[in-house]
Chain A
Amino acid sequence: MKKTSPPKTAPQGIWSGTISFSLVAIPVRLVRALAPGLIAFRLLHDKDYSPLERKMFCPEDEAIVPPEEITKGYEIAPGRHIMISDEELESVSPERSRTIEISEFIDLNEVAPIYYERPYYLVPLKGGEKAYRLLALALQKTNKAGIAKFVLDERGYLALIKNRDGALELNTLHYSDEIIPGKDRKKAGFTEKEKDRLKKIIKEMTADFAPEKYSDRRRQAFLDLIKKKIGKKAAVEAPEIEDEEAEEGMADLMAALQESMRKMRKADEQKKHKHQ
C-alpha cells in the first residue's frame, strides 16, 4: 500500500524527565502548545508539485544528513568551531537536564505579561497520572503557579507551571535582565476633561474578549481570497511518495528473518550431522 509522506502523529515530545514539588515527583514529557495557524501554504517543487520538506543538509557531501550523524557545535571564530555532544550538554547543569524542581509558588496575578515567552504542555508518563492530576487541581484551586528552572538542549530556562483545564502548562519566561526597561516619562499636558472624554469612549467600546472572533475572521478572509483568486484554477497532483522509512523497516525485518532462519536451519543440520 503506497501513500504520501505521512503526517506526524501525536507529538513525541521535546523533553522528558521528572517534575517535582517538595517530595512529590511526577514523570512527564514536554509537548508543544502552539501549532501553526490553519492558513498556511505548503512549499512545492515547481517541476512536479511534490511537497518540500525541511531537512539538514551537508553542503560538502551534498546529501541529507540522518539524525545520528548530527551533532551540535559552537563557532568560536568564523570557520572555526568545536563540536559538543549531547552528553556534554547534559553535563553542564545535570541537576536540571532531566528534572524540573519547583522550589516555590507565586500568584499568577503578579506576573506581568512581558515575562511570558512560550507555552508548552507537560504530559504525564506511566505511573505519574495521579500525582499530575493532583498538582493541576491544586494549582487551579489555589490560583498559583510553580516556578522552576530547567535545561532543554543548550538553553537554561526559567519556567512557570500552571493549570490549564486540568493539564499542566509550562511557560518559559524571560529573565529580568533580558527585559529592556521602559523610559521614564514626564507628565503629559492634558486636561481632566480630555481624559474623562477619552475614558468614556473606551468604556463605550468595551466588550468581552472573544479570541475566536479574530481567528475565524482571519481564516474566512484568507479562504475568500483564495477562492476569489484561484477558484477557477485546477488543482495539481503531487506524485505518490512511498513511505520510505516504513518500507525500509519491513525490508530489514524480512532480511533479518531470512538470515536467522537460514542460520538456524544450518545449525540444526550440523547438529543432526554430528549425531549421525
Chain B
Amino acid sequence: MAQTLWIGNIHFKTTNVPVKLLTAVSQNRIQLHLFHKTDGIKLRQQMICAYEKTPVSSDQQLKGFRVGERSYIPISPEELAQTEPKPSRTIAVHEFVKTDAIDPVFMGQTYRLEPAAPGKVYGLLAAALKETGRQGLCTWTMRKRAHLGALRSDGKSLNLIVLRFADEIIRAKSLGLESFSISEKELNIAGELIGKLTVPFQPEKYTDEHQKKLRALIGKKARGEKIRLSKPKHLTATVPSKLLEVLEESLQKAAA
C-alpha cells in the first residue's frame, strides 16, 4: 500500500505542478535483531564515549565539526538548526538532462508522484518530458534534509528518484586494482559466452526463495525441532593458466 510521505510543488520557469510523494517500494522482510549470546537479552545500539567507555544519553550529546585529529568545533542545537535548509515545499528543477545521462550508481530511492490538485499540468509535464527524452534535475528539502533528485516520466506518470551526491560514491580507482593483460582471444570467447547466455530482462521471474526458507527455519526452531546444518557451497577458483581452456569449455557447454 503506497503511503503519501510528503506534498510539494514542482517548479521551473512558469511551470508549477503540485504533487504528492508516495513510496514506490514496499519491502516485507524478516527482521532479525542482535542478542547477547550469554543471557539472550536483546541488544541496543548505544553511543559510547570513546574515552570513558560508558553509554552517553542523547541529552549529553553534542555535535562537532572535525577540524583536526582531535580538534572539533562544537555546534549548539540552535546553530545546527541554522545550518539546516529552510523548509520549503518547492521541488526546484534547475536543468534537464537526457534520460540515459545519469548512471544508476547515483540512483537511490524512487518515489512515485501523484497530482495533488486537479488540472492538466501534471499530464502535460509527463508527456513533454517523455517526448523530449529528458529528466529534470531538481533539489528540494524534506524532513530538514536537502535532496538532489531526478524527475522522470513514462509518458503519463511522474517519478522522483533521489540521487546520491558525487562525493558519496567511492571511485573504482580507490580499490587499487591491478591492471592485468587479457588476450584478444580470451576476451572474444568471454564476449561470445556472455552473448550466448544473454536473455531479455524479465524481473518478474525472480522471487525471494530465501525468505521462504528462512521463515521455515524460524518455524522449525520455534517448534523446538532440530536443525540440520548444511555446509555452504564452495567453488574452486579457476586457475589463471587454465582460464582460456575453461572459457572454451564453457562456450561448448553453452552452445550445447
Contact = CB atoms under 8 A, between A and B. Distances in A.
A144 B201 CA distance: 11
A128 B161 CA distance: 36
Contacts of B74: 44, 49, 233, 236
Given A45-B51, A202-B128, A235 B71 contact: yes
Interface string B194-228: 11011111011011111101100110011000011
A48 B206 CA distance: 53
B95 A188 contact: no
A255 B196 CA distance: 61
Q: Which of A17, A107, A134 is packed against the most chain B CB atoms within 10 Å? A: A134
Contacts of B95: 205-207
B124 A214 contact: no
A207 B235 CA distance: 47
A124 B124 contact: no
Interface stretch (A192-200, A256-264, A266-274): A192-200
A165 B47 contact: no
A142 B203 contact: no
Nearest to B148: A214
Interface string B152-186: 10101101010111111111110101111010001
Given A98-B234, A178-B25, A219-B167, A226 B124 contact: no
Nearest to A211: B166
Interface string A78-101: 000111100110111111111101
A14 interface: no
Interface of B is mostly: mixed
Given A104-B198, A202-B129, A236-B73, A93 B124 contact: no
A61 B40 CA distance: 11
Contacts of A135: 190
B46 A185 contact: no
A265 interface: no
A169 B233 CA distance: 23
A18 B166 CA distance: 30
B91 interface: no
B39 A61 contact: yes
Interface string B93-118: 10111101110111100101010000
A81 B30 CA distance: 13
Nearest to A145: B201
Nearest to B83: A225
Interface string B27-58: 11111111111111111111111111101100
A41 B237 contact: no
A8 interface: no
Enumerate the 7 nearest inter-chain pairs by beta-carbon distance, A residue then B residue, closest first.
A188-B123, A156-B210, A22-B250, A138-B190, A50-B51, A110-B201, A165-B172
B161 A98 contact: no
B146 A218 contact: yes
Contact of A138 (B23, B191, B209): B191
Contacts of A88: 217, 221, 227, 229
Contact of B172 (A18, A90, A166): A166
A273 B113 CA distance: 89
Contact of A233 (B51, B73, B112, B208): B73
A131 to B, nearest CB: 5
A180 interface: yes
Contact of B235 (A50, A94, A99): A99
A109 B104 CA distance: 11
Nearest to B41: A60
